[in-house]
Amino acid sequence: MDLRGELDIATAAMAVSYVSDVIDNHHGPVTADLTALAFCDAQGLAAPVRMANHAKHEDRPFHIASTRPSLVKIMRITGLDRRFLTQSADRRQAWQRQVLPPGVPPARDT
Please report, for the chain, the start and end positions of each structural domain, with discontinuous segments joined by +.
5-99
Q: 3: which residues sit within 8 A by CB, 6+ positions away? A: 15, 32, 33, 34, 36, 37
Across 2-11, 57-66, 101-110, least confident range: 101-110
* 69 pLDDT higher than 60: yes
> What pLDDT digit, counting tens, does each position of 23-58 carry?
999 889 999 999 899 999 999 999 999 999 999 999
Kindly report the CATH class assigned to 5-99. Answer: alpha beta
d(CA 17, CA 45): 15
Q: Looking at per-residue confidence, does 43 or 98 come out higher?
A: 43
How many residues are there in the chain? 110
